[in-house]
Structures are given as C-alpha cells and as structure tokens.
Structure 1
Amino acid sequence: MIISKYLLVLIPFICSTVTFHASAQDRRDVQPPQWPRHICADLVPADINRLQSLLNDCPSGSAVRLTRGRFVSSPLTITSNVYLWIAQGATLVATTDPTAYDRGTGECGKINDKGNACHPFLLFDHTKDGGLLGRGTIEGQGGQPILGTTRSWWQLARIAQRMNQKQNAPRLIALDHVQNFTMGYITLKNSPNFHVMITQSKDVTLWGITIDTPPDARNTDGIDPSSSHDITIIHSIIRTGDDHIAIKAGPHGASHHISILNSSLYWGHGLSIGSETMGGVHDILVKNIIINGAKWGLRIKSDSTRGGIVERIHYDTVCLYHTQWPIFLDTSYNKNANGNNIPIYKSIFFKNIYIDNGTIYLHGYNKNYLSDLFFKNLITPIHMQWSVAYTNLYRDKSTHEPYIKSCQATSL
C-alpha cells in the first residue's frame, strides 16, 4: 500500500550513471586495534585517587591499566598518545556526585533551558593518537540516584521532557577535536546522557564496542559523530534508549566519509542521520548491519530549523527485523519548525535491504525540494506498508517474500 502526495516512480533505472558501488566511506585502511606495548601503571581499586595523575604523567604511547575490580571515579581527562586500558574483570564507574561534573554554574544535576552544565565523565580534548581499550566495562550509573537526591539522571531527563526544558547530565565519553583515536573492545553501560560524542574530529576508530542501556533511558544515544570525518564503527553491538548512532552536522562543518560496518543493533531509535544536518552530511557507508527490535531502523531526520544537504549515503546489505519503521526519512522532525534551513536528501542508495514488517516512510520537504532515493534488491513482505511524499523513488529488482530467508548480513 502506497500513500502518496507527490511521487515519481521509475522502474527500472533509466540512467546509466546510477551506481550502487559505495566509494563513499572512511578513506583510511582501518585495522584492528593494537594493544599498547608499554604499561606505565597497573592499578587496583585502592589506587583510584591516583588515576588522573598517572594518566597525566604516563609516557607517550603507553597505557594506564585498570586490573580487576570496581573503580569509582570522578571525571577524567586523557591526554595525547596515552591509553586508558580497562582489563577484563575491571569496571570503571562514574560517580553520581553532580558537583564532580559541574562546569562552575552549580547547575549540573538540575533542569534549565540550556542543558550544558556538566563535564563528561571521560574527556579526550584536542588529543592526537591514544585512546580507550580493554575488555572491561565503563558503568555510567544513569539509573542510580544522583547524590543528594532521590532521582536518577534518567528520571531527571524525563522530568525535563515534561517541562519542555533540558536536563543537565554528563555524557559518558566526549571526543573533542581529536585525531587518530582508537576505542576497542570496551563495554559501555547506563550512560546518564549520550554514550560517545565525537565532535570536530577525524581518523576515529570504534572497534568491537558494546553499548548496553535500557530502552526507556532518555537521551542515551550510542555514538554521535558531529562535524567529523573519516570515522569507522565496526563489529559493534548497540542497544540503548535513543539513537543507536546519530551522524550530525551543525554550524562547525560537515560530517563525511564515515563507515558503519558489520554490527548488530537491537532496541533503540535508529541508525540515524540528523537531526542537525545544516553543515551537510555526505559519503556515508552502512554495510552488513542487522537491526532487530528497534523502533526506527535506517533513519534520516531533520527540519527547516536545522536542515542541510544529505547526499551520497549508501546502505548495503541490511537486515531489519521486528522494527516499526525500518526505513524512515523525515524532513519535518519538529512538526512546528519554521526556518530557512531546508533538509534536502539526494543520492540516497539502498541495496540488498531485507525487511520483515513495519512501514517504510519516505517524506521529502515539498514539491520544490524532492528527495532522490534509489532502491536495488529491496525484499519485503507483500503486505509492506509505504508512506511516500515529495520523493523521486527509483526501484529496481524488488521482490516480496513472506519471510526473509535470504538475508546475508554478517554483523560480527
């Protein structure tokens, strides 16, 4: 069933220049993370008060390693070419004390109209080389009571939502203007806010990451690259209360040449682009992905207050199971938006996409700003629901199957 306001359908492709070869991707030759050869300190939980000073003094190319046990810490800053290594059996736990994160306003742990009063738990700021490794866990304690109160960080977020305000809660990990950063094998749990925020950075690899947070934890995005380029997210598992991944581009520039590969996404709000796209998003490759049990699957969202050009996006071999909105492209994310930053989606390619149920939602902005979408080998059930508006939709070799028998994505 197709509900259409303005729709052009061309079957088969009539333009020989249309290509599904995804040259749009991270331009580096990305390899598995290497363990640091030199350990400048091995810590046990009793050493936690020395952790920041050891990170500051650790020689270039070396690691501070947390061995076994539970390490409760205040926020930490990691410098260039230093690794924090969290070994298997070790858990680095974020304090619930809001004063430890406060930026000096006294507002962290409170509600206001800004939401920027907290430092992140782990900060990599203007660093080059180094990173975060290990088969241990970083525990954000988002569901635990904020020290001195009876409500958790997540409850604070829900209260702020009802008040149409913003919660001041710390992000778990912030990468700000970093270069050649590696995060490998770590498990992130229960962030008070976003798990990993990547801002104005380049040459970043996240390999074998697990993010595990409840589905009702508000604003707990998994990984958000913003105005960044040459990023690879690979061999990872994400289940969280908001976007699994959200590629953003604000006033500081475009996000481009990003690869999301061989990963599994469970509950959450989608493998997303947006909602901020005013800086432009282009040359993105999403390949060999399984999405199972999410509310949204492949998602592009923006509106006229924060929109821009999103182009040369390649989705290749994606299996979507039990997902309400398996493909969702929306140009009116805020239905009340009234601005001049029009979202424009063009050269969006879908190849080898397998869907078992739900509704495909493809809405361009208006008749002057149509979305251009290309589908090749789209396999859906015969009862698939479509909602299409203001979209040039090109389809080739699409079939209907009662069950998905041929999905070939290999996620891990």
Structure 2
Amino acid sequence: MNLVNMQRKHSSYLLAFFTSVALMSVGTARDLRDVTEPKIPPSCTTLKASGGDDTETIQKALDSCTKGKAVALSPGVFHSGPLNIPSGVGLVVDTGVTLKAITDPALYDLGAKTCGTVDDVGVGCKAFITMLRVTGSGLYGKGTIDGQGNVTLIGQKKSWWDLSEEALVAGTFQNVPRLIQINNSADITMYQLTLIDSPFYFVTSIETNGFTAWGLTIIAPASARNTDGIDPIGSQNVTIAHCNIRTGDDSVAIKAMTAPSRHISVLNSHFGHGNGMSIGSEVNYGASDVLVSGLTLNGSLKGAHIKSNTYRGGHVVNITYNNVCIVDVKNPIYLEMDYVHLHGNRTPEFRNIAFNNIRVLSTGIFILQGLSDSNPVVVSFNDVHITKGSRWSRHFANVTGTWEEDASGHCGYAGNE
C-alpha cells in the first residue's frame, strides 16, 4: 500500500487525538524563559585597533571590565588570538568593526602541539572566543567576527579548511579551532553579529542553561566541512531567533553527548546552503521539548533532519515544527535511526514528532526510517502541503495525519507567506 492510500485510511478520531496531543506539547516544547530582543550593555571602555596583534589589549580590557558592562571595539580591523570572556562581561563588535582570528596554530594549541595538524583525535585546539563557567556574558554588535578558515596558516602552506580536506581524504580528524565555544555557563547572549569563515563549528554551547542567539548572520561556503552554524550540546533553555545561516554543514544541530538537550526554540529564521535544521546524531542523553517555528529552508541538502543510530542513540521526543517553508531541498523531511550505519547498544527512540503548517515548494525525497516494528519513527502531519512528484521512503514508521500534493506560492523570509 502506498503512503497516500495509507494516510487516507487513518480515522478522524485518531487524527483529532494526535493533533490535540501535539498542540499540548507546544506548551513545553520551547525555551521556558520569556526571551525578548537583547540590548547591548553600556561600555566600560572603547579600544582602537593597533594594526598588529591586539590580543593582549582586548583581553586586559575584558578582565578589568565591570560586570554588567562591555568592552567596545572602535571601527577598524582588529587581529587577535584566543580570547576569554569573563563572567558578566560583554564584547561589542559593532558596525564598521572586523575582529579577525590570527591564523597561527601555536596560539590555539592546548599543549600537545597538535593544533594545525591531522590525527586520530582532532581535539588539539582551543576556540577563538571562549566563555567557560560564566554567567551573564555576551557578544554584541553589527560588526563581523572572521575566523579566517580560508587563509593560509602562519608557518604552513595550507589553511584551516585545507586541513579539513586533508583529514577527509586520510580518514582522520583535523585539529582546528571552533570560532566561539560556551561551556558550563548560564544566561549567555549573542546579538546581531555577522560570523564568517569559521575554521570549524561556528558556535557551540555545551552544558549551558540559558543561551540566546538573536539576529546573527553566519556564513561559510557550502564546501567548508564541519562548519556547523549553532550547536546546542547538552544545553537547555536555548533560543535561536531571527538568524540567517548558510554554511558547509548543519545550520543548527541540537546534540546531547554529555547531558540532555531540552527546552530549545528556533524561531523566525532563514537557513540557506548547508545541511539544514538538525537534531543529532549524538543524542546519548536525550533531546526533547524543541520548537521550530517560522523557518525557511532554501537550498540546503536536508530540511528537518533528525538523525541517530544505535551507537549514539537516545530519546528524541516532543519535537514540534510549525510554520516551516522548504524549497530546493533534496530531503525536506529526513528522520533516520541508522545514520551512517554506526552500531552499538544505544537504541534511539523518535516519538511525538509533529509537523504543522508545512509547505514544501519543490519536489524532494521524504525519508522516515525507524529501526523495527517495535521501534518505529512516530510522527504526525497536520496541514502539510508538498509538491506533486515528490517521493517517499518509509521503513518502520508510525505516521498519523495527512498531507496534500498541492503546494504552491512562495516562501516568506522566515516561514510561509
């Protein structure tokens, strides 16, 4: 029996029941904070670019700044090595400012002298900007932070991105820095910035409670490997709002490697080339209570992508997609429990995944792949419209609801028009 015939045989009371459950889940499937547009804190000092290495000047100003205030950079080009943002302090990179990460692997090395190499581990570098065990810190302004992933490294004849390609060919891992890393922190804000050309992941929040990314523009070429936009990892109460992201990997990837990820909102955003809106594949501790609302996916390889396997598996539950518009995406909806065929003893569980008010304005391949009859993907569709001629691949999937092959019109900037 094909999917269209199957869906039409669902009884109306089952649809009504599942829809009511999905609507109730929206109440908790979100950031539980009352998040509003951030404000840039007042400045404690304003710095001018030296034309050389500004690391020491910026770090000294950050360390001496009063909590509740921020170090502001004057218009110009600043060059810096790794920076640490103290608790309660901000850094303002405003209009006319570019903060460039110096491309010297020695500055980022964690002690093993492996940063700027490839090996079997790939964890030899510190990030360009780090927030570690801090509260109320942030990065603000309409300026640009440039990771210089495409620039030749000091002392080498290759760039950070060249190392990534080298690792791909060798089947190893590149030791390159993330652009911004937030660890074990609370109430962190990133506001308005443009982030470009990260060597590796752009922004990761690890085991952090309360993280707002508002109005960010994140850009890397589609060919730049492992340049995830924003990755909440083992974090909770996260809002990603009004962001424009186009990279060489996942625009957003919610992961749960070391702790649960839950109460996450992705709102009113636009994702271009890359791998779309992802959950997984590392969900060992569970990903839950996620709301994706007001999202346009235009030109990415995948749209709504939930991925795991028995090596990295855990529960992925209470996930709601509302008002999502998808165009020129190969796999508009891709839910898979056997991602890259890695196997172990951590069985994934995908349930209470709801798609409401979805428009897919180009043909694509929809994939729903569970593990077995006893462990299927459990998903509902309500007010879902796709393009005629699309194909479905369905294995071990418990599908409730209907969709129509009548999609038309245009996507809005963030969701349906």
Structure 1 CA distance for aligned equivalents of residues 339 and 269 of structure 2: 26
The equivalent residue for 1:353 is 358
Distance 1:402 1:34, change over 3 A: closer
**Do structure 1's residue 399 and structure 2's residue 401 form an aligned pair?**
no
Pairwise mapping of residues 290-329 of structure 1 onto structure 2 (< 5 A)?
A: 290-329=296-335
- Aligned with 1:44 (options 42, 48, 60): 48
The equivalent residue for 2:161 is 154
CA contact (8 A) 1:2 1:386 kept: no
Distance 1:145 1:9, change over 3 A: farther
2:14 is aligned with what amino acid? I
The number of residue pairs the alignment matches comes to 407
Cα deviation, residue 17, structure 1: 3.9
CA contact (8 A) 1:160 1:166 kept: yes
Distance 1:75 1:163, change over 3 A: same
Cα deviation, residue 410, structure 1: 4.7
Distance 1:196 1:409, change over 3 A: closer
Cα deviation, residue 30, structure 1: 0.3
**Do structure 1's residue 105 and structure 2's residue 109 form an aligned pair?**
no
**Do structure 1's residue 272 and structure 2's residue 272 form an aligned pair?**
no
Distance 1:353 1:70, change over 3 A: same
2:394 is aligned with what amino acid? V
Distance 1:405 1:118, change over 3 A: closer
Once the two structures are superposed, residues 363-384 of structure 1 have per-residue CA deviations (whole angstroms, 9 ceiling, x without a partner) of: 0112221111000011011211
Once the two structures are superposed, residues 63-109 of structure 1 have per-residue CA deviations (whole angstroms, 9 ceiling, x without a partner) of: 10011111010100010000000010000100100000000000000
Structure 1 CA distance for aligned equivalents of residues 369 and 160 of structure 2: 35
The equivalent residue for 2:269 is 263
The equivalent residue for 2:395 is 389
CA contact (8 A) 1:254 1:280 kept: yes
Pairwise mapping of residues 188-203 of structure 1 onto structure 2 (< 5 A)?
A: 188-203=195-210
Q: Give structure 1 stretches of 5+ with no counterpart.
A: none
Cα deviation, residue 406, structure 1: 8.1
Structure 2 CA distance for aligned equivalents of residues 82 and 313 of structure 1: 34
Cα deviation, residue 168, structure 1: 0.2
**Do structure 1's residue 375 and structure 2's residue 411 form an aligned pair?**
no
Cα deviation, residue 408, structure 1: 9.3
Cα deviation, residue 8, structure 1: 11
The equivalent residue for 1:14 is 14
CA contact (8 A) 2:324 2:415 kept: no
Structure 2 CA distance for aligned equivalents of residues 410 and 312 of structure 1: 21
CA contact (8 A) 1:13 1:394 kept: no
CA contact (8 A) 2:360 2:407 kept: no
Once the two structures are superposed, residues 5-64 of structure 1 have per-residue CA deviations (whole angstroms, 9 ceiling, x without a partner) of: x99973545165423321110001101111212x12111111823111110111111110
Cα deviation, residue 164, structure 1: 1.0
Structure 2 CA distance for aligned equivalents of residues 2 and 177 of structure 1: 48
Query: TM-score w.r.t. structure 2 length?
Result: 0.94
Distance 1:2 1:215, change over 3 A: farther
1:204 is aligned with what amino acid? F
The equivalent residue for 2:343 is 338
The equivalent residue for 1:67 is 74
2:49 is aligned with what amino acid? P
Cα deviation, residue 155, structure 1: 1.2
| Secondary structure at 2:14 match in 1 | coil
**Do structure 1's residue 288 and structure 2's residue 294 form an aligned pair?**
yes
The equivalent residue for 1:236 is 243
Higher RCO (C-alpha under 8 Å, 6+ residues apart) = 1
- Aligned with 1:212 (options 208, 214, 219): 219
Worse-matched range after superposition: 145-154 or 128-137: 145-154
| Secondary structure at 2:340 match in 1 | coil
Structure 2 CA distance for aligned equivalents of residues 31 and 402 of structure 1: 33
Q: Give structure 2 stretches of 5+ with no counterpart.
A: none
Once the two structures are superposed, residues 184-242 of structure 1 have per-residue CA deviations (whole angstroms, 9 ceiling, x without a partner) of: 00000000000001100011111000001100000000000011000000001000000
Structure 2 CA distance for aligned equivalents of residues 387 and 352 of structure 1: 21
| Secondary structure at 1:373 match in 2 | strand
Structure 2 CA distance for aligned equivalents of residues 403 and 72 of structure 1: 48
| Secondary structure at 2:107 match in 1 | helix
CA contact (8 A) 2:269 2:414 kept: no
Structure 2 CA distance for aligned equivalents of residues 362 and 9 of structure 1: 19
Identity, in percent, stands at 37
CA contact (8 A) 2:325 2:416 kept: no
Distance 1:107 1:409, change over 3 A: closer
Structure 1 CA distance for aligned equivalents of residues 227 and 337 of structure 2: 23
Cα deviation, residue 300, structure 1: 0.3
Aligned Cα root-mean-square deviation (Å) = 2.1
CA contact (8 A) 2:359 2:407 kept: no
**Do structure 1's residue 32 and structure 2's residue 46 form an aligned pair?**
no
Structure 1 CA distance for aligned equivalents of residues 85 and 178 of structure 2: 15
Query: TM-score w.r.t. structure 1 length?
Result: 0.95
Structure 1 CA distance for aligned equivalents of residues 252 and 413 of structure 2: 22
Distance 1:298 1:410, change over 3 A: closer
CA contact (8 A) 2:109 2:115 kept: yes
**Do structure 1's residue 168 and structure 2's residue 179 form an aligned pair?**
no
1:44 is aligned with what amino acid? K
Distance 1:406 1:95, change over 3 A: closer
Once the two structures are superposed, residues 258-292 of structure 1 have per-residue CA deviations (whole angstroms, 9 ceiling, x without a partner) of: 00000000000110000101100110000000000
